[in-house]
Amino acid sequence: MKRVKRLRSLTAKYMAIILTALFFINFLIIGTSLLVFNVYDHKDPETLQIEKAWHEDARSLKNPGSEDINRMFEEWQNRYPKARLFWVDGKGRLAAGRNLAADIPKHWNAAYTANFIKARYDNDPFTVIAFPQNDASYGFVVFEIERKLLQPAFTEVNTDFMYFIVPAGIVLFVTVSYLFFLGIRKRLLYLQHAMEIRNVDGLPVSITVRKQDEIGQLEMAFNQMVNELRESRKREEAEEQLRKELIANLSHDLRTPLTKIRAHAYTLGKEALTPLARQAVDTIEQSVAKMDRLIENLMAYTLLNAKKLKYEPAPTDVVRLARSFIANWYTVFEKEGFSIDVQLDDLEQKHWNVDPLWMERIFDNLFQNVIRHAKDGKYIGLKTERTDSYDALVVLDRGKGFRHKSSEKGAGVGLAIVDLMVKKMGLDWKIESSETGTVVKIIHYR
């Protein structure tokens, strides 16, 4: 299995590209060299055939004179129009010729003849020297032709390839390498894009593994991570649901003994008690009421998160509803010595699509927070606010603000309930707190 993975790896693939390129370039160099040197192979079949035929024709001359030699030259010129043909007789005179060059002398001596033969031997132009009837007394006849005129057409083309065949191989190697790394880049960008995509549950989406190389292994690891996250999310949701149900059940179970404690405290309160005992009973009743309120908030918060709290929205006159809320709390604030300021004017939209019971819970929690944390300010205000974009119900106090450490400070469940209920009903809310008081706005955008 490991061997298969190595063969499929990116390293193995790129090494295969390099080795193939080296082999291909070497093949081109060697092949081109063989073709080029074959052009200058002075013993190719055609030159051997010319050399043999020239000697045979010279040897077969019956009367090596100008007439027979000119007839021989005419036949050869028909076959090789661009060939140079000439005869130097036994006295060293240039006796006949065809296509003669300017450098051919009229008279030849032994030294010049020797230098001519040496210069032409195995060189360009291709030169054949023969003696008529194999007799040097008749002089010698010469056949000359440029070697390129004897090359096959394909050999000439391959000679031209010599100058760009190797660069072409290098360009091909660079192009293949670029495409190879371009493919890697595209796959990495695809993986990056997949990591940024989120499903409806907020988790990444699994991707398709296309190849079994290093990037493919990275994609498989990513898919494994996604699956583990999904399983972890399921476990968390199950544990959260179990916790919420446990809290709801405990809240319900705790209310039974609290009810009994409250009943016994009420019974004790009717008896003739000493001042100290009366104070203890009052403390018990206050603690029970506080605990009952906390349990109720905790249960409501749990049910809200579990989406099990009954929600029945309906068009509601919120100004009238707010008046009823402050009326229910009027005696409580009055008992605590609060100054109550109510300015509930009509709103642009009197009816909000809300659940009246949920609105009551919201204002109960806000009013309770004022009594617990802003008692020193001795002020509670409830008013309406109208702007160009929204209507609002506003609760004000003159306490020391959220930064002040209150002895009644809890876990913030009451405000958490306010936040969940407000958002569930499609409303918004804002809190502005300072050392001179706190302002809470329940906002309905038009």
DSSP string for residues in 338-403: -EEEEE-PPPSS-EEEE-HHHHHHHHHHHHHHHHHH-GGGTEEEEEEEE-SSEEEEEEEE-S--TT
pTM of the entire predicted model: 0.44
Assess if residue 232 is contained within a domain.
no
Same domain, 326 and 432: yes
Rounded Cα gap, residues 226 and 261, in angstroms? 52
162 pLDDT more than 50: yes
Residue 221: pLDDT band with limits 50, 70, 90: confident
Assess if residue 211 is contained within a domain.
no
Q: What sign results for the dihedral spanned by CA atoms 195, 198, 201, 205?
A: negative
142 pLDDT more than 90: yes
Same domain, 141 and 177: no
Residue 410: pLDDT band with limits 50, 70, 90: low
Assess if residue 200 is contained within a domain.
no
Contact 262, 288 (CB under 8 A): yes
| Domain boundary residue, one of 112, 139, 156 | 156
| Domain boundary residue, one of 305, 331, 348 | 305
Residue 421, domain extent:
314-445
| Domain boundary residue, one of 305, 328, 349 | 305
397: CATH? 3.30.565.10
| Residue 288, pLDDT score | 78
Same domain, 80 and 120: yes
Give residue-wise pLDDT tens across range 173-207: 788 888 888 888 888 888 888 888 887 777 787 88
**Which of these ranges, 121-130, 154-163, 180-189, 216-225, has the smallest mean pLDDT?**
154-163
| Residue 151, pLDDT score | 60
Same domain, 125 and 181: no
Residue 404: pLDDT band with limits 50, 70, 90: low
264: CATH? 1.10.287
Nearest CA to 50 out of 130, 106, 164, 110 is that of 130
Assess if residue 201 is contained within a domain.
no
**Which of these ranges, 108-117, 409-418, 435-444, has the smallest mean pLDDT?**
409-418
Assess if residue 209 is contained within a domain.
no
Assess if residue 118 is contained within a domain.
yes
**Number of domains making up the chain:** 4
Same domain, 424 and 318: yes
What value does the mean pLDDT take over residues 92-105? Answer: 88
Same domain, 62 and 135: yes
| Residue 2, pLDDT score | 41
Nearest CA to 380 out of 334, 317, 434, 444 is that of 334
Same domain, 432 and 322: yes
Enter the tokens of residue 265.
């405290």
| Residue 281, pLDDT score | 81
Q: Where are the beta strands (DSSP E) in 108-217?
A: 126-130, 140-145
Same domain, 35 and 50: no
Same domain, 350 and 426: yes
**Which of these ranges, 212-226, 293-307, 388-402, has the smallest mean pLDDT?**
293-307
* % pLDDT > 70, the chain: 83
Residue predicted with more confidence, 67 or 402: 67
Residue predicted with more confidence, 412 or 208: 208
Give residue-wise pLDDT tens across range 71-85: 899 999 999 999 999
Q: What is the mean pLDDT of the chain?
A: 81
| Residue 444, pLDDT score | 93
What value does the mean pLDDT take over residues 252-267? Answer: 74
Give residue-wise pLDDT tens across range 340-394: 999 999 898 889 999 999 999 899 889 988 988 888 899 999 999 999 899 999 9
**Strand 339-343 versus strand 140-145 pairing type:** unpaired
Same domain, 332 and 286: no
Give residue-wise pLDDT tens across range 4-41: 455 566 667 777 777 777 777 667 666 666 655 554 44
Assess if residue 196 is contained within a domain.
no
DSSP string for residues in 254-265: HHHHHHHHHHHH
Assess if residue 223 is contained within a domain.
no
Same domain, 420 and 379: yes
Same domain, 438 and 322: yes
Contact 340, 380 (CB under 8 A): yes
Nearest CA to 284 out of 256, 257, 255, 264 is that of 264
Residue predicted with more confidence, 169 or 389: 389
